[in-house]
Amino acid sequence: MSINRLTQFHEDPVIIAWWQARLGTALTWCTPGRRRTALAIAAVVAGVIRPVREMGRADDLPVPSDWLGLASLVLALFAILWLVYQAAAHFRSLPASVRRHPQISLHLLYWGGLALLWLTVPTAGAWRELLLGIAIIFPYLIWRCGYLLLSGQYGRAASTRFVDQLIPLWPAFGGSNTPYGKGLDYLSKCEARSDEELARSQLAGIKLVILGLLWDAAMTLMERTFYGPENAIPRLDQLVAQGGQAPFLASWASLYCELVWQVLRHAAHGHMIIGTLRLFGFNVFRNTYKPLLSESILEFWNRYYYYFKELMANFFFLPTFTQLGTRLRNWPRLRLLAAVFAAAFVGNMYYHLLNMETLVAQGYVFEAVYTLRSRFFYCFLLAIGIYVSMRRQQSRGGKPLAAGHLARIGRIFGVWTFFALIFIWNVRSSTPFLARVEFFLSLFGFA
């Protein structure tokens, strides 16, 4: 068997036919309805476990802690999701202002709840504990609700069932505040409808699970080979903390190692989630797909964290680009620049502000923003890089890039260097902004 056939076994007709022959009865029994039912039941369980677990981690805050309070929180969260589903299913009946700006309306409701929290004392009673619990949990759900409202805006939510919508709303297959697999619309589009499609999807899922385990093993190998107090290359967060005093060669080596590490981390985590979805017949796109082979900044952005990129594109880039279509008709470059900054800068920062839900829920918004000050600069550089990359792509007019192995290696190395350098301001560390600047300058002999 050739290497290509081995690595692409999920697309081999012989292997697909063998899989069907071995699991024919099981594949026939696992109809789309039954698979959805299993995931919906698992979603209900996840919708109970996650709030209980999160409240257990916030035991120093006035949040629901007894069984009655936790049960009320779970029921309240499911009730909110049901109301959002009703709003999406009856989208045309909503007020005109909400129909025009459904995403803004959703986020304003959340911030309105936060404002109510800030204006009341912690001893206000059980209702405030419940509201605080909702405020801490809802950032996990808000983008998923956004996809549901987007489905209603396009008239597709009315034909769906609430139990099916629970699958992406409370994903039992895992994920972060970023919805892997987006909403039910995208999942349905990628859903297997026949035994052959299900077999193909499951084999693709098995491949991703195997790759996820391999990348996790590669991370362990990096830890034992490169990182650690007795090894030659310290972690980037340790070097950044040294500012201009960091060793020159070790700093450059750590930059590129950190980039590889981050890619492996995203790939290992995302492959397991997408692999699980594929096993259930949703043959959705990978979250991470060979970003280290990207030949442009834009291509890396698309491949590195696909579902985060999609979130930024759907909720920030496309709305901004569309709204500015008439106002900046004669300034297409400015229109593109505004849309890119809306996604990679404004949307990126806002997303990570919501991720600091505990600080925000307590009213420490300025403290949360201050904590993100280094990421502010990272997002700024990222937006500039993406815009320049998009403009260069447009200027080529569809012409292919320069051929040749050396030219390709040079482009790939340039992409690696860009993302490795800007990650100085994104690596998790308590190091202040100016110390990161000193570290950056020391890489070029200026500090």
How many other C-beta atoms can be found within 10 angstroms of the C-beta atom of residue 228?
Answer: 12
What pLDDT is recorded for position 429?
A: 86
Low-confidence spans in the chain with pLDDT less than 50: none
CB atoms within 10 A of CB 288: 24
152 token code pair: 């209603």
- The answer to whether residues 73 and 51 touch, using CB atoms and an 8 Å cutoff, is yes
Contact 164, 104 (CB under 8 A): no
- What integer pLDDT is reported at residue 329 of this predicted model? 86
Q: What is residue 106's predicted lDDT score, i.e. its pLDDT?
A: 97
Please give the pLDDT value at position 267.
Answer: 96
Return the pLDDT at 37. Answer: 95
pLDDT given for residue 1 in this prediction: 53
Gap between the Cα atoms of 192 and 201, Å rounded = 7
For tokens 């995203």, the residue is: 266
Specify the pLDDT at position 419. 97
Cα–Cα distance, 239 to 248 (Å, whole number): 10
In this predicted structure, what is the pLDDT of residue 416?
97
CA dihedral 301, 4, 201, 262 (to 10 degrees): -30
Quote the Cα angle for 157-276-88, to 5°.
10
Question: For 277, how many CA atoms within 13 A lie in the half-sphere containing its CB?
Answer: 27
Output the pLDDT for position 2: 63
